Each structure stands twice: as structure tokens, then as C-alpha cells.
Amino acid sequence: MKCEHCTRKECSKKTKTDDQENVSVDAPTPAQESGEKCDTSKHKVLVVSVCPQSLPYFAAKFNLSVTDASRRLCGFLKSLGVHYVFDTTIAADFSILESQKEFVRRYHQHSEEEHALPMLTSACPGWVRYAERVLGRPITTHLCTAKSPQQVMGSLVKDYFARQQNLPPEKIFHVIVAPCYDKKLEALREGFSTALHGSWGADCVLTSGEIAQIMEQNDLSVKDAAVDTLFGDLKEEEVMRHDGASSDGYLAHIFRHAAKELFNEDVEEVTYRSLRNKDFQEVTLEKNGEVLLRFAAAYGFRNIQNMILKLKKGKFPYHFVEVLACPGGCLNGRGQAQTQDGHADKALLRQMEGIYSDIPVRPPDSSAHVQELYQEWLEGTDSPKAQEALHTTYQSPEPCTHSLDIKW
């Protein structure tokens, strides 16, 4: 399966995460109603983590509320033998909080460090791969070092959760359900396994569309089930999201945090202004006629390429940019809401956007569980362990001169 946007030869090769055969790893039979505890010494524990941008797809496709869709999906996965189903929102909490702190630090240092600003988000694997494989330095020095939600979820499952279950990381088979194919390549990103002692954070990635296809092909009697949490028997009572129209909302959360931390300004409503097209938007903080902060959202490779050209010419006025490879954001990932001929299903996408906007917003800094994990799992918010678990580095090869890469 080919990377969504990549034209390089290695991306055309089949990756291990593309084979649905890899989902079957001596899966046990479904847990019996008697509550008999399975013997994990005889098989791997199956864990599935679902991205919040996937849930509106299942809700729209099966004509359910987003909460019912979450419970239906969880029940289906457990009927297949999955032991735990998690929501990746808590991983996005960590990623956003670390990004907030990094932006404030970069802002204070930008007068001394040439490439401190603008800070470019690093949660989109299609964009990060393009930056690493095609652009190289100095563009990669602008990338936020906070790990993406998928990478953080890998650390949570293979490190924190594994310890809670008294399991070595390799005894857990971790599957991610995501809206785009680029997440498959992110799971194989070089160097990511090192922090987990040789164990990959995600062993397999399936798109929302692939899961829906499996659901439609199976004639199982499914009993809805509540989504699990990383905290014992506690279940997820309500589906929550971050403050983004179609993504995890890095721009909105970092903008509010920076306005308060740097200028003591409280921002209630973040006002977006579309510029050259609807996928390039600007947000500013102004006081007494002076622009204090200038943020942007750049979605789709047309806007990304324009951003890079201006950045290289030194004519890019922004402090921060939320960068996503897919036009329209994560809800429009190629792994969901597609017609049979491979085009975006616009009617379904509009329905998904409405469903997503109705999900209650939870600010990342309001989660008591996240604060507990910082102390219990990471030994503090600024500890060496937090740096290792929540931050990454980027490859910086020389910019590629291959003609296909240039056109990409």
C-alpha cells in the first residue's frame, strides 16, 4: 500500500502494517462471560487504540451517535478477541501540552536562535515524512519535537500500561485505528522503537475504512461495550475531543496558552480568517494596534509548498503553523470517507464534520489523569523520562533532487 502523498520508491513497497494477516497473532477466543482471566503467558494481549477523528466516520456510516458508534466499535473489536480498546485522546493531551511548553520556550529563544520560529507542528505523519525525506535542514529544525498522539499512545501502552499489567512490551500487540494511510508509515518510523527497548509502539495500523470493511464482512452478534481506560476497571463514560474543526486543535490550544503565558491575555474565542483558500487560515493576537502573535493553519500540500517557499525566502511572518497533509484536515484522511473510485465522499464528510463539531471539547490541561501520569509514570513534567517518552528527533538528510520528489 502506497503512502498517501509520497512518490519515492521505498514508499511503494508493501510495509508490514499493510497486511491484515498481521492482525492475527494467535488471538485468544473472546473473554467468557464468567469473567475467567486469560493466561497471558500463552499468547499476546491484543490492544486497539482508536483515534477520535475515526469515530465520526463510524457514526455517519452506521447512522449512530458518536457515543453509540464508539461502543459498537468497541464491542465488535472485543468480539474478535481484542482485550482492551482505548481512545487516543489522552495521548493527544500529552502531545499538545508538550507542544505548548515548547512554543513558549522557542518564542523566548527566537531572537538568539535563527530557526526557533516559526514552530511547525509534527503530529501529521505525511507532513513529517515529507519534511524529513524531501526538505531536510533547515526546515526540520522548525518541527516541534513533541511526539505525535500515535507515538505517545505507543509509549503509554507499551510502557505504562504494560507495567500496570506486569507484562513485557513484546507481549502486547498494539493496533491503531486511524483516518489515514500515512499512520502506517509512522508506525515504522526509524528510531521510534528505541525508547521502548526494541518494541514498536504500534505493531499494526488499520484505517477506519479497513475496519468498517471488516465489520461489514463479518456476521457476528455484537454486544456494545464501553471503551477501556489505562486506569484499571475505569471506563470512558463520554467521547471527548480537542478544540479543532477537523483535527486535534494544536493551533487553538497553543494560541490560548501562548497568549496567557507570554502576554497575560485570556483568549476565549479563537477567530480564524481564511486567506488564499479555506485551507490556509490565520489567527492573530493584537493589542493597541500591534500584532503580538500570528498563527496559521496550512492544510494540503499546495499550501504546504507555498509555506515552504516563503519560509526559505525569509518572507513568512508567522510564529506558529499547524500543518496537515490532507486538505480539510484529519477527518478527510484517505483511509475513510472515500467513494469507490477513490475520491472524497463530500456528503459523508459534511455529515462527519457536523458530528465532530458536536462532540464536547476537553482542554488538555483539564485532565486529572494526565497530571497523575506525569507524576506516576514520568516522574515529573520536566523529567528526563518525560523528555524521552514524549519527544523525538528528526532525520535531516540533504534535500532530495529527484524530479518526482520536487513535483511532490
pLDDT tens by residue, 20-51: 444 443 444 444 344 455 565 667 999 999 99
| Angle at CA of residue 358, ends 357 and 361, nearest 5° | 80
- Name the percent of the chain lying above pLDDT 90: 70
* Nine cell digits for residue 70: 464508539
Kindly report, residue by residue over 49-78, the tens digit of the pLDDT: 999 999 999 999 999 999 999 999 999 999
Average pLDDT over residues 314-330: 94
pLDDT for 356 equals 95
pLDDT for 22 equals 45
**For residue 188, how many C-alpha atoms fall within 13 Å in the half-sphere facing its CB?**
16
How far is it, in rounded angstroms, from Cα 174 to Cα 23? 9
Kindly report, residue by residue over 361-376, the tens digit of the pLDDT: 999 999 999 999 999 9
Rounded to a whole number of angstroms, the distance between the first and last alpha carbons of the chain is: 18
Structural contact between residues 229 and 160, judged by C-beta atoms closer than 8 angstroms: no
| pLDDT greater than 80 at residue 4 | no
Q: Write down the pTM of the prediction.
A: 0.87
Domain 43-390 class in CATH = alpha beta
Pairing of strands 280-287, 273-277: antiparallel
| Cα 91 → chain centroid | 8
Alpha-carbon separation of residue 227 from 62, 78, 136, 379 (angstroms): 18, 10, 40, 27
Give me the residue spans of the domains in the chain: 43-390
Any bridge partners for residue 294, and if so which?
284
Number of helices and strands (H, E) in the chain?
A: 14, 9
pLDDT for 114 equals 75
| Cα 158 → chain centroid | 17
Kindly report, residue by residue over 118-165, the tens digit of the pLDDT: 999 999 999 999 999 999 988 999 999 999 999 999 999 999 999 999
Kindly report, residue by residue over 187-222, the tens digit of the pLDDT: 887 555 445 556 789 999 999 999 999 999 987 778
pLDDT for 222 equals 84
Nearest of 125, 55, 119, 96 to residue 252 by alpha carbon: 96
